[in-house]
C-alpha cells in the first residue's frame, strides 16, 4: 500500500525508513521528503485502537522492554527512578501554587513525586487497574479528560503519549484550551534521531523501535512543528534516558534491557559526558518540549 499525503505538509514524496514494524505486519514507516515527519502507515482504525488499549496493551508492553508488568504495586515501585528523573528536569518549570495534570498517569508514580512541589495534582488514566492504584494512594485520577469538564491547569504533563495520537495537532489544541493564562505544557517523546537508530546501525534496533502503537516518530524539528501548528510556542530540549550500558548491550546482544549492567565500571562523570555528547548533536533518545499558548 502506498503512503498517503503527509499529515503535516500534505507532501506526497516519502522515503521508506522501515518495512519491519513491531506487531504491525503490513505497515511501513515513511519519512516525508518535504517536512521530514516520520509516520506509520497504515495505522489501526479507531475501533481497533480502542480494543488494543483496552485489551492488549499490557501484553504488548510486556513483549518489549522496561520493568515488566506484574501488579500495580510493582509497577509503582519499579517506576520510582523514572518519576525522580522527570521531577529533576521539570523543577525549574514548577510553582508552589500550580495545579498540575498528567495525561497517561499510569499508577501515579510521577504525580506522587510531583505533589510535594505543587498545590494539587490530577491524573488521567484509562487503564482501570492502574487508575485504581493511583486513587488508593490518594491521587485524584479520572479515566478520560472529558470527566474534567471545563477545568483548566497551570501545568499539563504528557510523557510518551503524543507519538500514540492519530491527530496530534488537534490533541495539542485541546490541551492548550485546558491551560490557565501563563500555563505550560510539558511533553516528552522518543527522538527519531536516536544514535541507536542512526549512526550505530544496530540491526535489531529498528524492528524494535518502529512499532504499531507509534503513529508518528518525532525529531526536535517535527515535534516543534506539530506544537506550533496548534498555536503553541515551544522550547525543545534534548534528553538522554538510557545509559551507556544499555547501548553496549544493544551492540553486543542486539537486545534491550541492559541499563545499569556495567555501572561498577562506568563512573557518573563518564555517563554524564556520554549523555552530553549525544544531546549536543541531538542524537539523544528523547525530545522534551515546554510549550505555551502563542
- By C-beta, is 9 or 135 nearer to Zn ion? 9
Q: Which stretch binds Zn ion (CB under 5 A): 11-19, 185-193, 222-230, 273-281?
A: 11-19
- By C-beta, is 12 or 80 nearer to Zn ion? 12
Min dist CB 239 to Zn ion, Å, is 25
Taking CA atoms, 109 is separated from 51, 115, 191, 287, in Å, by 25, 10, 23, 21
Residue pair 207/21 in contact by the 8 Å Cβ criterion: yes
Min dist CB 32 to Zn ion, Å, is 3
Among 11, 67, 257, 260, interactor with Zn ion by CB under 5 A: 11
- By C-beta, is 30 or 209 nearer to Zn ion? 30
When asked if residue 17 is in the footprint of Zn ion (CB under 5 A), the reply is: no
Q: Which stretch binds Zn ion (CB under 5 A): 2-10, 74-82, 153-161, 273-281?
A: 2-10
DSSP string, 108-140: SHHHHHHTTTSSEEEEE---HHHHHHHHHTT-E
- By C-beta, is 37 or 185 nearer to Zn ion? 37
What are the E-state strand segments in 8-124? 14-18, 28-32, 38-41, 99-103, 120-124
Residue pair 145/117 in contact by the 8 Å Cβ criterion: no
- By C-beta, is 8 or 195 nearer to Zn ion? 8
- By C-beta, is 37 or 103 nearer to Zn ion? 37
Under rule CB under 5 A, how many of the chain's residues touch Zn ion? 8
When asked if residue 9 is in the footprint of Zn ion (CB under 5 A), the reply is: yes
Min dist CB 14 to Zn ion, Å, is 8
Min dist CB 33 to Zn ion, Å, is 8
Q: Which stretch binds Zn ion (CB under 5 A): 3-11, 118-126, 161-169, 260-268?
A: 3-11
Measured CA to CA, the distance from residue 229 to residue 162 in angstroms comes to 14
Q: Which of residues 28-87 bind Zn ion (CB under 5 A)?
A: 32, 34-35, 37
The phi, psi pair for 224, rounded to 5°, reads: -60, -40
Q: Which stretch binds Zn ion (CB under 5 A): 24-32, 88-96, 197-205, 219-227?
A: 24-32
Nearest to 276 by CA among 236, 235, 239, 223: 239
The answer to whether the peptide bond before residue 42 is cis (omega within 30 degrees of 0) is yes
As a whole number of Å, the end-to-end CA separation of the chain is: 38
Nearest to 32 by CA among 21, 19, 16: 16
Q: Which stretch binds Zn ion (CB under 5 A): 1-9, 45-53, 201-209, 249-257?
A: 1-9
Measured CA to CA, the distance from residue 14 to residue 256 in angstroms comes to 29
When asked if residue 6 is in the footprint of Zn ion (CB under 5 A), the reply is: yes
Nearest to 193 by CA among 58, 7, 4, 31: 31
- By C-beta, is 141 or 220 nearer to Zn ion? 220
Residues that bind Zn ion (CB under 5 A): 6, 8-9, 11, 32, 34-35, 37
Amino acid at each position: 500500500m502506498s503512503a498517503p499525503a503527509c499529515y503535516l505538509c500534505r507532501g506526497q514524496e516519502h522515503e521508506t525508513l522501515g518495512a519491519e514494524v513491531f506487531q504491525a505486519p503490513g505497515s511501513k514507516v515513511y519519512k516525508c521528503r518535504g517536512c521530514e515527519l516520520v509516520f506509520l502507515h497504515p495505522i489501526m482504525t479507531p475501533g481497533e485502537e480502542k480494543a488494543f488499549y483496552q485489551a492488549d496493551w499490557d501484553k504488548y508492553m510486556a513483549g518489549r522492554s522496561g520493568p515488566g508488568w506484574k501488579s500495580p504495586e510493582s509497577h509503582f515501585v519499579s517506576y520510582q527512578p523514572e518519576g525522580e528523573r522527570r521531577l529533576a528536569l521539570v523543577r525549574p518549570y514548577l510553582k508552589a501554587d500550580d495545579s498540575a495534570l498528567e495525561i497517561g498517569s499510569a499508577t501515579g508514580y510521577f504525580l506522587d513525586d510531583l505533589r510535594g512541589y505543587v498545590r494539587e495534582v490530577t491524573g488521567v488514566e484509562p487503564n482501570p487497574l492502574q487508575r485504581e492504584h493511583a486513587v488508593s494512594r490518594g491521587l485524584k485520577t479520572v479515566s478520560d479528560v472529558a470527566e474534567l469538564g471545563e477545568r483548566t491547569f497551570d501545568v499539563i504533563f504528557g510523557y510518551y503519549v503524543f507519538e500514540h495520537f492519530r491527530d496530534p495537532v488537534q490533541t495539542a489544541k485541546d490541551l492548550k484550551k485546558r491551560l490557565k493564562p501563563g500555563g505550560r505544557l510539558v511533553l516528552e517523546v522518543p527522538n527519531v534521531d536516536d544514535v541507536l537508530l542512526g549512526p550505530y546501525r544496530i540491526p535489531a534496533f529498528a524492528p524494535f523501535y518502529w512499532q504499531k502503537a507509534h503513529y508518528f516518530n518525532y525529531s526536535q524539528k517535527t515535534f516543534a512543528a506539530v506544537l506550533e501548528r496548534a498555536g503553541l510556542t515551544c522550547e525543545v530540549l534534548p534528553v538522554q534516558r538510557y545509559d551507556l550500558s544499555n547501548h553496549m548491550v544493544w551492540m553486543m546482544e542486539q537486545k534491550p534491557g541492559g541499563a545499569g549492567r556495567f555501572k561498577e565500571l562506568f563512573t557518573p562523570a563518564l555517563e554524564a559526558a556520554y549523555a552530553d555528547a549525544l544531546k549536543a548533536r541531538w542524537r539523544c533518545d528523547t525530545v522534551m518540549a515546554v510549550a505555551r499558548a502563542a
